[in-house]
């Protein structure tokens, strides 16, 4: 038997936590600075006067008052994106292939989790649950979503990608898009046969919708309440635990070493006695599990899901993966957090800064504008390595 300290590599546990804190604080600080400076500039112009006239509040005050909530919301969605992005980036790392069905793997996780909660609600268990039981039930829904998505991802690889392993790169990509539509319609079919409706709403239970209040910040005429919705905290916490776990698995375990070896040189990895197909299945299992958990967390945060719920988060997580440098785990983390913050900031402040000309509905311009800029100016992403190094 080995001693505990020998088996646990503490450094690999702390490193990703440090990275996440750095990315969150760094991204949040930069964006906060930008909006506050913009607000200071625009306050003297028609934009500020307009706001002053309508709500008798200065643009700077408005911005500062909204900032804490925007930061929390941005981080919440950012961590969800990061968890999904890791699924894209891991599969890309091993197979150099974008699994476009990953957004539906995410959606299936969301549906499984939500349907379980709805079933428990209909059975009367949810309303009778004490607080502790409510958290256990949420954990159960999470684990169910993770399991379903994990095994679905493995099955999709087996059926739709593995037979195409030797084919030109475009072929499995088209297959992935086919799987994506197929799964979307399967969700629709199953939902319409069983429930007769496509939109599902996560039941309200536990104390997840309550807000924790930390204090109040007087700001001129207004007072800003500093608080966090409990479900936002849960989303961030669960995501952080998963991301740390994944980092540990990849960087400090034997399986992780095999995953990295397969990613770098598949034929040679097989000559080392590594069962490459098994490692690829494990990669899909991990990516799918993270995606499923992200689905349940997304449903918890945004309450309503439909069969197309995977499309936009999937596309944005893909953008996040490219932004950070596809194939790079730390990059996916950075990309997810930055993208989540960026689009939430855009959604929150665009309307005020443009006098209502461009509202929150245009926030996606930022996400996909970033994708285009990255592809043009830094195709390897922010943390991407030189592609030639891989060969």
Partner 1 sequence: MSLLTLENVHSYYGRIHALKGISIEINQGEIVTLIGANGAGKSTTLRTISGILHPKQGRVLLKEQDISHMEPHNIVAAGIGHVPEGRGIFPNLTVKENMEIGAFTLNDNAEIARRMDHAVTLFPRLKERISQKGGTLSGGEQQMLAIARGLMLQPSVLMLDEPSMGLAPVLVELIFDIIKQLNEQGTTILLVEQNALMALSIAHRGYVLQTGEIVISDTAANLKQNETVQHAYLGVE
* Interface with partner 1 (CB under 8 A): 2, 254, 257-258, 260-261, 264-265, 267-276, 389-390
Give the helix ranges, DSSP H, for the chain. 4-7, 10-43, 46-55, 59-95, 102-122, 125-128, 131-156, 170-194, 230-252, 254-264, 266-271, 276-302, 311-324, 329-353, 364-377
Minimum distance from CB of 153 to partner 1 (Å)? 22
Query: Which residue, chain included where needed, has tokens 């740390």?
Result: 244
Helix (H, G, I), strand (E, B), or coil: what is residue 141? helix
End-to-end Cα spacing for the chain: 39
Instruction: Specify the residue, 86 or 144, whose C-beta has the smaller distance to partner 1.
Output: 86
> Exposed/middle/buried for 50, CB within 10 Å: 0-12, 13-18, 19+?
middle
Q: What are the structure tokens assigned to 156, written together? A: 């999709």
Residue placing its CB nearer to partner 1 in the complex, 8 or 21: 8
Give the residue carrying structure tokens 């957090």. Answer: 337
Token pair in block for residue 82: 């990061």
d(CA 337, CA 309): 20
Instruction: Closer to partner 1 by CB, 264 or 380: give it.
Output: 264
Q: How far is the CB of 385 from partner 1 (least distance, A)?
A: 8
Q: Which is nearer to partner 1, 2 or 11 (CB)?
A: 2
Beta pairing class for 211-219 and 200-201: unpaired
Residue closer to partner 1, measured from CB, 93 or 314: 93
Q: Write down the least CB distance from residue 274 to partner 1, Å.
A: 5
Tokens read off for 68: 């804490």
Of 67 and 258, CB closest to partner 1: 258
Q: How far is the CB of 82 from partner 1 (least distance, A)?
A: 22
Q: Enter the tokens of residue 271.
A: 């000559």
Q: How far is the CB of 73 from partner 1 (least distance, A)?
A: 36
> CB of 272: closest distance to partner 1 in angstroms?
5
């Amino acid at each position: 038997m080995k001693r505990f300290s020998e088996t646990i590599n503490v450094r690999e546990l702390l490193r990703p936590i440090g990275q996440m804190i750095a990315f969150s604080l760094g991204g949040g600080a930069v964006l906060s600075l930008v909006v506050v400076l913009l607000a200071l500039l625009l306050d003297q112009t028609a934009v500020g006067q307009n706001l002053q006239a309508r709500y008798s509040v200065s643009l700077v005050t408005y911005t500062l008052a909204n900032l804490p909530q925007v930061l929390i919301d941005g981080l919440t969605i950012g961590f969800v994106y990061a968890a999904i992005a890791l699924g894209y980036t891991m599969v890309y790392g091993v197979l150099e292939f974008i699994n476009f069905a990953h957004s539906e793997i995410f959606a299936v996780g969301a549906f499984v989790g939500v349907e379980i909660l709805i079933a428990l609600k209909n059975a009367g268990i949810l309303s009778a649950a004490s607080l502790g039981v409510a958290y256990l039930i949420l954990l159960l829904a999470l684990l169910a979503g993770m399991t379903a998505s994990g095994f679905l991802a493995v099955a999709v690889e087996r059926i739709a990608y593995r037979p195409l392993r030797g084919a030109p790169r475009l072929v499995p990509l088209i297959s992935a898009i086919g799987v994506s539509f197929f799964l979307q319609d399967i969700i629709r079919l199953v939902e319409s046969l069983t429930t007769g409706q496509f939109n599902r709403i996560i039941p309200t239970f536990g104390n997840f919708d309550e807000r924790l209040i930390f204090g109040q910040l007087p700001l001129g005429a207004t007072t800003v309440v500093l608080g966090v919705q409990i479900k936002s905290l849960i989303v961030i916490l669960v995501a952080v635990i998963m991301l740390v776990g994944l980092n540990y698995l990849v960087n400090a375990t034997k399986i992780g070493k095999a995953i990295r070896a397969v990613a770098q040189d598949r034929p040679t990895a097989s000559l080392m006695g590594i069962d490459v197909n098994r490692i690829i299945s494990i990669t899909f299992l991990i990516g799918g599990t993270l995606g499923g958990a992200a689905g349940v967390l997304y449903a918890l945060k945004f309450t309503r899901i439909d069969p197309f719920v995977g499309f936009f988060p999937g596309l944005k997580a893909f953008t996040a993966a490219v932004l950070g440098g596809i194939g790079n785990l730390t990059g996916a983390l950075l990309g997810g957090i930055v993208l989540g913050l960026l689009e939430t900031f855009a959604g929150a402040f665009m309307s005020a800064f443009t006098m209502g000309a461009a509202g929150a509905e245009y926030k996606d311009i930022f996400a996909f504008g970033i994708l285009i800029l990255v592809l043009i100016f830094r195709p390897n992403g922010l943390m991407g390595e030189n592609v030639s190094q891989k060969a």
